[in-house]
Structure 1
Amino acid sequence: MGNKLSHNISTEGGSEETTPQRIQCSNIEDHLIKNPFEGYTGYLIEARGRNGPRGKVFRTDRMNKQNKHEAIVTIYSYSMPSNPGAADGTYVVLQFMQSQKFFAVHKNKPSKLILTKNGWDPEYAEDITTTADRRVFLAKRSPPFSSDLIFRAASGGVTGVITLAKDRRNKPAILADLGEGHAEEAQKFKIFKPILKPATDDVTGDYLEAVSSPYLPLGGADERSDGCQAQEEQRQG
């Protein structure tokens, strides 16, 4: 195994691969994904319109009791038992906890980041075994050894990374080549552990706070976390 990030996201030495890789679910945790840079500041969220969810990934800098749960992202992390040094990062799948929708690459438009919709019934994230799945991204530290992450699409040779538009919260995130035509700040994120706390004002109710989590290294390449196993046992039970 290579270097490891906090929040169970590791960095493994090696070069990026376009050939589908065999992977295995190794950890499941809930997080907030935030861009901390000026002009792009905000948490990733599924925005809602007059007719309900818009089915795309946006950012919000206004966390409140109405939308706080919609910003929580379940991050599934994957190890590579047969070839642990092949990826320069950690393969992950991202799912909004509230809506249960996954981040994914559009089937016919590789620059389009979508959320899974009704009618597309993919397998459980814990059962994904290949990076060819359109929901799989490669989380990498950028630059190396920093706490900033980029999320690069991993399926079908698509190389775009999740990218935000500057000063435009109403414009959805896209997949764009790293650094090409976009400021690097548009493509960097940090992950935080969401902690729900009671507010002092009874009118506002509870609130969501992003806090740093302790360093929790990922398990060995041939190990699976209790989280993945528990999900499987719950489905089978």
Structure 2
Amino acid sequence: MGKRKNISRWISTFSVISLLAWFFFSIRFFYVYQEASVFATEGAQPIIKILEILNYRGEELLSFFISFFILVSLSFLFLIYLFLYIKKYHLKNSLLIITGIFITFFITINLINELFLFLLVLIVVSFLIMVSIGITVKYLYVEEDDYEERLNSFSGPFKTLSKAEKHAEQKVSKIKKKSNQHIVYKIDLEIGEGYYVNIYIEETDNGRNENNE
């Protein structure tokens, strides 16, 4: 339970850091773009404006493109990890939704300029790479989860004892179909949070299910 709290704390911290990074990046990018757009010929074709902007601020904008790609990739990777974490521990997805909305907002406002095609290409490339990684991670996660499910399973919190017991019984029944081991469960009450279910293999031959509030 302590390890899970540490992970939750780390996730919350990283969410704040991620949003702050997007905030400061967006402000700096807007400032640099406004300076560079002064060199673009007014009324010229978009492609001409882009070439002029890149000609006068090419190196600086290149660093922003690289930073943008890294930020987008890390954001996608973090959202994938957060999704798997929430799924594994049966948590509310409010943090995932809020973080996803803010990240989408910051990505969108950075696309409102003449360079949006460059940024859009970076997003697509990053998305394809992260999806590939996500598929691999999910495959490994499912394998690991199936293995852990046969040996040990921890979930919660549940609002009531009855919900925790129902979940535990369903989980034990599911695991027993895959294993001949003697599976038992224990329910713990964490004040201010709820009931947590710990399912594990009983080492003794005459063990019995334990239900603790």
Which structure would you say has the larger RCO, counting Cα contacts within 8 Å and 6 or more residues apart? Answer: 1
Q: Shorter-chain-normalised TM-score: which range?
A: under 0.3
Q: TM-score, normalised by structure 2?
A: 0.19
Larger relative strand fraction: 1
Larger relative helix fraction: 2
Q: TM-score, normalised by structure 1?
A: 0.17
